[in-house]
Structure 1
Amino acid sequence: MIEKVKKRDGRIINFSKDKVTRAIFLAASEVAKKEGKLPDYSMAESLADEVIGLLNRRFIGQIPNVEDVQDAVVKTLIETGHAKTSEAYILYRAERSRIRNSKTRLMRAIKEITFLDANSADIKRENANIDGNTAMGTMLQYGSAVSKEFCKEFVIKPEHAIAHDKGDIHIHDMDFLNMGTLTCCQIDVSKLFEGGFSTGHGFLREPQDILSYGALAAIAIQSNQNDQHGGQSVPFFDYGLAKGVKKTFKKLYRDNIYKALCIYNDLYETEIKNITNLLKEIEENLNKEISLKIDEDLLNTLKDKLMSNYKLTEKEAQKIQKFAYREAYRETDRKTYQAMEAFIHNLNTMHSRAGAQVPFSSINFGTDISEEGRMISKNLLLSLEKGLGNGETAIFPIVIFKVKEGVNLNPEDPNYDLFKLSCRVSSKRLFPNFSFLDAPFNLKYYKEGRPETEATYMGCRTRVLGNVCGPEIVTGRGNLSFTTINLPRIGINHGMVNKKEYDLDGFFKELDEKINLVIDQLIERFEIQAAKKVKNFPFLMGQGVWMGSDKLSWDDDLREIIKHGTLTLGFIGLAECLKALIGEHHGESKKAQELGIKIVKYMREKMDEASEKYNLNFSLIATPAEGLSGRFTRLDKKLYGQIEGVTDKEYYTNSFHVPVYHKISAFEKISIESPYHEFTNAGHISYIELDGNPSDNLEAFESIVRAMKESGIGYGSINHPVDRDPVCGYNGVIEDTCPACGRKDGQDGIYFERIRRITGYLVGTVDRFNDAKRAEVRDRIKHA
């Protein structure tokens, strides 16, 4: 007789007929429920006896394991004519197995997070913006691990969870899925600041000088970050903060007129109020405003008023005006620099999400040609160039200079000096990156004088501009969610790796299946997001940051307004996909390039079709693969073994990029990658790798930026080594010895800081990267 059974963990326990009976009864109950009948417990007991009889015959003198018992149940149900109950039992068994595996994965993850150091645990370095060794970083990772497993078991469809676990797709930010958060947002700070706003712990009045504008811009980014799982972008930072410069100048101009008048007249303190009223009266009468570029009529009117009101000669009045302007301009410029310096320092020190991260932040600028906007741009760049307190390169915000013919690209353009300065700063600090408003897919939205139509990129490369549901502008919108397809796997399944000839029809058929699966999954996630209410996102929605949210009440759901965001399909490893399919990647042959373009164009067309079908903004992104590049490769290496040029490294190549190890010139790389920017309307980026210090050859650096613009690239950046000796503070390229103080790397246990870029938004010391990205950095060749 069967008395014992072996559990999956090896423990031997008493065999229980009741457990077998109950399992059969539950399966029978499911069938009876569908057929409108009542389940029969006595029948379940009788079938359990049959199962025990089978086990007794099979395991004479042996102890069966749990799987043996379950197999006996299935066999008995089928042989006794209970096929439907057998099917229900198999599904129940699979579901129990899935839950059990989920618990095992969860416990394994928590064990790694708890007991391993970040240096030896890739899970603690999935996000280089989180310090996995800190208490709050560890707590955030606990929550992430639990939430992911909960979503897979209880929230999303099984087919989506299975595809994710198998590595056919990757659902990004799954730990936030059940919370219904949106990914990112492009914040119009000028709209937010008008009249003031609340962070939930008190109301902040409308700022009245540039220092306050800079401080509140950082607070707005931090506050919005707490409502979203992605990043925050200010799409036209120069326009947004220019009003703060103007307010500062007007106040200082008034104060300096008062100071100058004190030289010529014995004035009382109350006189400054009269001067304020005088300036206000002049502005209203002329319908002109005091600014850094003061109108000639306004100056003449003020001169006449000073002469008549304070008994001054014309020469004295002019002296006062010149003194007031010169001092006000100088002080405004100084305060603007301080404001930009504080803004950068704040975003590298303030924390969001329970203190575990600095906010993911990006700012776009460079096209405001007003004197106030230009002052913002200039001082932002100078502050970035100086670095943080000890000269460190700032990691955030990601600074993006918008290049536009007629605005800043050529010597006759009003902001040409800012373009030159941006190249100088980028050659030293890795930032700014460069976006190109003249790229045809960006230019078609551009309307002169309307910065909300200028294409905006988030540091990670996300782009949100086209809109089938409303205005095609950048402000108050963002990505809702995105999911990435494992392109190399489809290439392996239908390529020359496994066959004598590649099967393109089979490839596109499977790609089509995966795209449809992702569209279904994105809609499923959209429904969760759409059911959320304004009160679930008190800053993003409650303060009117997201488009249309200012028209909703606290308990309204978000369906109608989040439609302005994007639902996005991503892809990774085009190079490895092509290699698996035809034996060459797009950096190696024209044939591979043509096929690569065909594949990416096909994905874009499918997303356009989905937009038309569902009236939602489906889009295609060149996935920024920080943590994903290694995950897909590990899974595929286990499934297919090591395939040369495909699974023989620790990572898949980022999106449509030419592999980092492929020898190619900078201009060839730009030429090959530029066509893909047009199809990836949800975001893209191209990098060039330079050796040495590009500050020594700014002409060459600028020529690369111009080549990107001419080739139709939408968003690009130039990578180069940025090293720092934390002892003497030297910044530059450091080999094994600091050129400033002669100290060796690792001397006295102190190593040089080696700052590198791993995606459009993430720059940091290499020790914070996960294993796959470390390997990718190691393999990078320089583009001549």
Structure 2
Amino acid sequence: MKDSHVLAALPSKADISVEKNNGIREKFSHEKLVKSLLMVGSPLWAAEKIASKVAKSAYDGIPTKEIKMLVYTSLKEIDEETADKYLAARKLKVRTSRDTIESFDQKKIEKSLIKEAGASPQLAKRIATEVWKELKKLDVEYLTAPMIREMVNTKLIEHGLEKLRRKYTRLGIPVYNITELITEGSRDNANMIHNPETVHKYVADEALKQYTLLHILPHRLADAHMSGDIHIHDLEFFAARPLNCLQHDLRLFIKHGLRVDGTGDHTSVAGPPKHLETLMNHAGEIMLAAQQNMSGGQAMSLWNVFVAPFAAKLSYDEIKQAVQMFIFNLNMAYAARGSQVPFTSINLEFAVPDFLLDVPAYGPRGEHVGVYGDFYEEARQVTRAFTEVLLEGDADGKPHLFPNTIYVIRRETLKDEFEDDLHLVHELAAKYGTAYFVNMLADYRGEMSNYMGCRTLLSDNWTGDWEKDCLRTGNLAYVTLNLPRIAYQAKDDDEIFDYLDEYLDLAIDVLKLRRKQALECLNDYNLLPFLTQEIEGENYYRIENATLSFGYVGLNEMLEYHTGNSITDPDANKFGLKVIKYLYERAQELKKETGLRWSVLQTPAESTAHRFAMLDSELHSEKAILQGKEDSYYYTNSSHVPVDSEVDIVKKIRIEEKYHPLTPGGHIFHAWLGEAQPDAQALQKFTKNICKNTDIGFWAYSNTLSFCLRCKTLMRGLQETCANCGEKDEVEWYDRITGYVQQVGRAKSSSGGWNKGKRQELLDRKRYNL
């Protein structure tokens, strides 16, 4: 009765909002305040009394810091020890090395001393208690993990424990973490193997991430990322390599030759290529060289068309041999960041598109050799040769993982004369699942659309000039919004859009800073010489045409929490479309306001979907709608249907196609194929139906494959034992992680190239037999 009486006496605070450190407001919550007090051991009666007192003092826009001090002062009058616990949990926030913000917890110091330094539990508790006593004297808004670690090291020195201090110290990142990188590696990027270069990369990445979070980004933006409201991609590249994807124009290097360092001062300079083999070598070197200046993928569109003049008068075998050299070079050039092969994509046409038939063509020595329409048959031969090389695989029978090979389907491609070429591509899709498809028949398409990396997209919808809009530029950067968290915080439809605006404002501010940093790196710091090299009177890279994009994760989970139904429900999906259309319209407004190229994309989210879900499993444990299982939670990527949904593939298309016109910054549809190898003819028929009858813009047929490293046998499906030799420990799995096909890791191991969330998603995927 006493508790009910207190609740009944509370003043209404329905219109009072609290401003968090990142600037986002949330409704004042009596219940949340009571819960936070109970969590530090306060009796219920005291928690209710203090929450009521604070409610009376609260005003609209009150900062969380002020609320915390009101609570602390009131609690101290009742129980000083509990008040100290509350202060530690609520006032002292720690920015961790895992890019999260957490409440201070003395136990974590104790555990790390035991694990990393080998301290006894008694000694660890003694040191941690002394550190806590020092920390609570500080008047700081945030602590950092390095700050706490140095205070611990100071205490270890005071106690004469030098041996423990040496184990516990930090060299850019903790000694323990470097040891783990050397012995175990990291699974943040599935494209990276475990070797000395990756260790170097991760150590440097950690230092540059912290530099960005502490030096470049204002606190509120860093907080928004670390708390998981948004995700700022490529933090490690923000300071010195802030540009993401790049779509090259091969013609310029055909005409003017190649300076791989951008100047020719530090490397040999190549003149315009004279032979097809030389051009193949240059094409690979262009992407490898530009990778040193970019944080994302390298791509080339109209590749077979621009190469075609070099294939004139050559036999088909000579063309195929040159193309084979190009593909193997891309897959064997382990020289990109952290000992990766360059992340590359090639967009191939089945012939010369109509809009290029009368465009001037350039051939050997950079000479003008007519128009591209003169090389119609050569363009077809180059694409066919490319497909045949991919279909043959490498010497062990594995698929070539790069380049991402993207086949552009136009209305003329569906004519009978291309049936054999289309069939060959679908044999590749059926065997390895590495082919991608672009649907140029959709109503929202112009003459040109090209894709880069996992799905990022450029179209001739910026100025209307296909060259300026699609070549020598790319996606400058993107920031991803945590849509489920918005649903957990909002009470109704209106609040959903209020929170969307606040999250978008954070993303906009980050992207503006990223563009400012890019301009400084290009123009002031002389950091990106390949991109700033002058060709035909201007810088090679056209930053004025680069996109700034909003990504998003977890639309399905947002809908489940907010409407009670998943994206597969028609009414829920209507609201989902309303949400993404809102993002699209904000991007259009920003274009007019700023003169910059804003866009919306379906984030690849290789690690973001897992990171958001794991953070929300702690922060919103009672509300969170999660896929997967404990320790391997993930959100459904972008606006996709959940991977385990029991819906047929046609319904899946009908749901997801509506989002492709709203995400002009990039999108993808996944057809997860079953264990049985599909019929190429059936896939070809399905492709035609997609092009003629849907708004799907970009898609892939994805196979799961298993490869025995012992006897070199390739198998379909996720096999734990080799069907040929019986090997169990040396069987590797392959599948498409978000956009590209990559090794998952060993079948018998939980470790490997994919993080826990993506590995769980792999196991959850519903497969289709086409």
TM-score, length-scaled by structure 2: 0.72
Name 1:114's counterpart in structure 2. 178
Structure showing greater radius of gyration is: 1
Q: Distance in 1 between matches of 2:182 and 2:418?
A: 45
Change (3 A) 1:362 1:527: same
1:783 is the counterpart of 2:765:
no
Shift of 1:543: 5.6
Shift of 1:600: 0.6
Change (3 A) 1:626 1:119: farther
Shift of 1:69: 6.8
Q: Distance in 1 between matches of 2:378 and 2:255?
A: 18
Change (3 A) 1:134 1:540: same
Change (3 A) 1:335 1:168: same
1:743 is the counterpart of 2:725:
yes
Residue deviations 1:482-539 (CA, integer Å, cap 9, x gap) = 1101111111222xxxxxxx51111110111100111111111111111223542222
Q: Distance in 2 between matches of 1:700 and 1:604?
A: 35
Residue deviations 1:263-317 (CA, integer Å, cap 9, x gap) = xxxxxxxxxxxxxxxxxxxxxxxxxxxxxxxxxxxxxxxxxxxxxxxxxxxxxxx
CA contact (8 A) 2:488 2:624 kept: no
Residue deviations 1:3-37 (CA, integer Å, cap 9, x gap) = xxxxxxxxxxxxxxxxxxxxxxxxxxxxxxxxxxx
1:187 is the counterpart of 2:181:
no
Q: Distance in 1 between matches of 2:588 and 2:547?
A: 12
CA contact (8 A) 1:484 1:569 kept: yes
Q: Name the Cα RMSD after superposition.
A: 2.9
CA contact (8 A) 2:609 2:634 kept: yes
CA contact (8 A) 2:349 2:408 kept: yes
1:489-568 to structure 2, matched below 5 A, reads 489-494=485-490, 502-533=491-522, 535-542=526-533, 544=535, 550-552=537-539, 561-568=542-549
Name 1:684's counterpart in structure 2. 667
1:461 to 446, 455, 461: 455
Name 2:348's counterpart in structure 1. 365
Name 1:170's counterpart in structure 2. 231
Q: Distance in 1 between matches of 2:432 and 2:291?
A: 25
Q: Distance in 2 between matches of 1:114 and 1:137?
A: 11
1:753 to 723, 732, 738: 732
1:282-301 to structure 2, matched below 5 A, reads none
SS at match of 1:707: helix
Shift of 1:756: 0.6
1:723-734 to structure 2, matched below 5 A, reads 723-733=706-716
1:437 is the counterpart of 2:440:
yes
1:478 to 474, 477, 481: 474
Change (3 A) 1:486 1:712: same
Change (3 A) 1:392 1:517: same
Q: Distance in 1 between matches of 2:532 and 2:146?
A: 36
Shift of 1:236: 1.1
Q: What code does the residue aligned with 1:211 have?
A: E
CA contact (8 A) 2:428 2:434 kept: yes
SS at match of 1:579: helix
SS at match of 2:513: helix
Name 1:300's counterpart in structure 2. none
Shift of 1:659: 0.5
Determine which structure has the larger helix proportion and give its number.
Answer: 1
CA contact (8 A) 1:102 1:149 kept: no
2:421 to 408, 418, 421: 418
SS at match of 1:763: strand
CA contact (8 A) 1:110 1:145 kept: no
Q: Distance in 2 between matches of 1:196 and 1:115?
A: 45
Q: What code does the residue aligned with 2:635 have?
A: Y
SS at match of 2:696: coil
Name 1:576's counterpart in structure 2. 557
Residue deviations 1:621-675 (CA, integer Å, cap 9, x gap) = 1000111111111100011116574366411111111000111111111111000
Change (3 A) 1:648 1:134: closer
1:617 to 583, 594, 597: 597
SS at match of 2:449: coil
Q: Distance in 2 between matches of 1:602 and 1:776?
A: 28
SS at match of 1:678: coil
Q: What code does the residue aligned with 1:597 have?
A: L
Residue deviations 1:295-354 (CA, integer Å, cap 9, x gap) = xxxxxxxxxxxxxxxxxxxxxxxxxxxxxxxxxx5xx21111111111111111103335
Q: Distance in 2 between matches of 1:232 and 1:428?
A: 25
Change (3 A) 1:505 1:374: same
1:771 is the counterpart of 2:762:
no
SS at match of 1:145: helix
Deviates further, 393-402 or 359-368: 359-368
Shift of 1:417: 2.4
Q: Distance in 2 between matches of 1:103 and 1:678?
A: 52
1:708 is the counterpart of 2:690:
yes
2:328 to 324, 345, 358: 345
Name 1:94's counterpart in structure 2. 141
Q: Distance in 2 between matches of 1:101 and 1:159?
A: 21
Q: What code does the residue aligned with 1:492 have?
A: Y
CA contact (8 A) 2:432 2:703 kept: no
Q: What code does the residue aligned with 2:732 have?
A: E
Residue deviations 1:83-121 (CA, integer Å, cap 9, x gap) = xxxxxxx4xx22565873698998796556422369966
1:161 to 222, 229, 238: 222
Shift of 1:745: 3.5
TM-score, length-scaled by structure 1: 0.70
Name 2:299's counterpart in structure 1. 233
CA contact (8 A) 2:401 2:434 kept: no
1:488 is the counterpart of 2:484:
yes
Name 2:166's counterpart in structure 1. none
Determine which structure has the larger strand proportion and give its number.
Answer: 2
CA contact (8 A) 1:461 1:761 kept: no
Q: Distance in 1 between matches of 2:150 and 2:684?
A: 54
Q: Distance in 2 between matches of 1:648 and 1:380?
A: 38
1:713-724 to structure 2, matched below 5 A, reads 713-724=696-707
Change (3 A) 1:102 1:391: farther
Shift of 1:213: 1.6
Name 2:87's counterpart in structure 1. none
Q: Distance in 2 between matches of 1:196 and 1:343?
A: 17
Structure 1 residue runs of 5 or longer lacking an equivalent are 1-54, 74-89, 250-328, 447-453, 495-501
1:233-252 to structure 2, matched below 5 A, reads 233-246=299-312, 249=313
Q: Distance in 1 between matches of 2:712 and 2:474?
A: 39
CA contact (8 A) 1:573 1:653 kept: yes
Q: What code does the residue aligned with 1:212 have?
A: T
Q: Distance in 1 between matches of 2:438 and 2:497?
A: 32
Deviates further, 195-204 or 106-115: 106-115
Residue deviations 1:223-250 (CA, integer Å, cap 9, x gap) = 111110100000111112112212xx2x
Shift of 1:725: 2.9
1:128 is the counterpart of 2:194:
no
Equivalences, count: 586
SS at match of 1:178: coil
Residue deviations 1:374-412 (CA, integer Å, cap 9, x gap) = 111000000000011221111110000001111x1232x
CA contact (8 A) 1:572 1:655 kept: yes
SS at match of 1:433: strand
1:390 is the counterpart of 2:384:
no
Q: Percent identity?
A: 27
CA contact (8 A) 2:257 2:272 kept: yes
CA contact (8 A) 2:330 2:341 kept: yes
1:199 is the counterpart of 2:260:
yes
Change (3 A) 1:564 1:725: same
1:13-32 to structure 2, matched below 5 A, reads none
